[in-house]
Amino acid sequence: MEPAPNFARRKPKIAAVQLEEIDLASGIWCLDSPLTVLGMPLGHRMTVIRLSSGDLWVHSPVEWTPALGEVLSSLGDVRHVVAPSCQHDLYLEGWSARYRTALFWAAPGLRSKQEKVPFSGDLVDQLNSEWAGQIDQCLVGGMPGVNEFAFFHPASRSLIVADLAFNLASSDGFLSRTLLKMNGCARGFGPNRSFRWMIKDRTAFAASLEHVMVWDFDRIIVGHGEVVERNGKHTMAAAFGKFLGLGS
C-alpha cells in the first residue's frame, strides 16, 4: 500500500491519514514534492488553505496520488484548484479527472495550453468572490509570458508565490550546483535569471511589487526552495530593492 505523503515541511508524525498542522497557522498546509527541471533539482511546493466554508483551496498542485487524495479528504472537500501562472500547470489534468465538481482557476493565457482542463474562469487582479476576505491576490504585471499571481493569506500573514522568487539551498552534485548557479538559483532568496528575462515591462512589474509590499506578510511560501519563516518583508525588499526604488 502506498504510504501517506509527508504533508508538512516539519515532518510531523502522521498516523494513517491523520495530519498535524504545520505552524503556519490553523488551516494552512504545505506539501513538498521532488521536481527536476533541465537537470536542476528545484522541488515543487503545493499550498492548501481551508476556507471558512470548510472547503479547500489548493495552490499549484503537485502530482495527485490516492494517498494524497486520502489526506485531502481528511481536511475537507477540494473546492478550488489554482494554477498561479502559465508555468505552473504540470498536474492539472490529473486533478481535474479526480475532482470533477471543483472549480479550476487559470492564470491568463493558460487555457490555450490546457484545453483538457475544464477551467471555471481566469484569475483576475481583484478579489475573487469565492475567497474574498480570506485570500488576497495580485497579478505580477509586466510578464505576459508568465502572468503569475501572488497571494496573501492574512490569517497566517503568509505571502504565497510560485516562481516570483526561489529560495534554494545548495544542491548535491557538481552538475546540479553548476546549473543552479548558471540560472541564478543558488544565491538564496530572489528571482532566478530566467524569470528576470521574462520581465517585459519593468514599470508594471515594479507597481505589482509595490502592491504586494502593502500586504502585512511576515512569511513567504515559495514554490521552489525553503519557506521564509520570518522577516518576509525585509527579505523581499532586499531581493527586489532595485524595482522598489530602494537602490539595492
28-240 has which fold? Metallo-beta-lactamase; Chain A (3.60.15)
Which residues of the chain form beta strands (DSSP E)?
Answer: 28-33, 36-37, 40-41, 44-50, 56-59, 78-83, 103-106, 121-122, 136-139, 149-153, 158-160, 219-221
Q: What is the pLDDT of residue 139?
A: 96
Q: Across residues 146-168, what is the average pLDDT? A: 92
Residue 97 has pLDDT above 90, yes or no: yes
| Cα(167)–Cα(221) distance, integer angstroms | 10
Higher model confidence: residue 60 or residue 179?
A: 60
Question: Concatenated DSSP letters for 12-49?
Answer: ----TT--PPPTT-TTEEEEEE--EETTEE--EEEEEE
Which range is least confidently modeled, 36-50, 52-66, 224-238? 36-50
Angle between the 202-214 and 232-240 helix axes, to the nearest 10 degrees? 170
0.85 exceeded by the pTM? no
Cell representation of residue 40: 536542476
**pLDDT one-digit tens code per residue, 136-147:** 999 999 999 899
Q: What is the pLDDT of residue 166?
A: 84
Which range is least confidently modeled, 5-19, 80-94, 150-164, 228-242? 5-19
Closest CA to 141 of 165, 164, 114: 164
Q: What is the pLDDT of residue 127?
A: 79
Higher model confidence: residue 20 or residue 37?
A: 37
Q: Across residues 63-92, what is the average pLDDT? A: 91
Contact indicator for 105, 88 with CB cutoff of 8 Å = no
Q: Which long-range contacts (CB under 8 A, 24 or more apart) does 175-183 make?
A: 175/39, 176/39, 176/40, 176/41, 179/38, 179/39, 179/40, 180/40, 180/41, 183/40
Q: What is the pLDDT of residue 184?
A: 47
| Cα(123)–Cα(7) distance, integer angstroms | 26
Exposure of 170 by Cβ count < 10 A (0-12 exposed, 13-18 middle, 19+ buried)?
Answer: exposed
Q: What is the pLDDT of residue 95?
A: 96
> What are the structural domain ranges in the chain?
28-240
Tell me the pLDDT of the chain averaged across its residues: 81
Cell representation of residue 246: 530602494
| Cα(118)–Cα(95) distance, integer angstroms | 11
Q: Across residues 118-147, what is the average pLDDT? A: 91
Per-residue confidence band for 244, with pLDDT thresholds at 50, 70 and 90: confident
Which range is least confidently modeled, 14-28, 54-68, 87-101? 14-28
| Cα(42)–Cα(236) distance, integer angstroms | 20
| Cα(231)–Cα(211) distance, integer angstroms | 18
116: left (phi over 0), alpha (psi -120 to 50) or beta: alpha
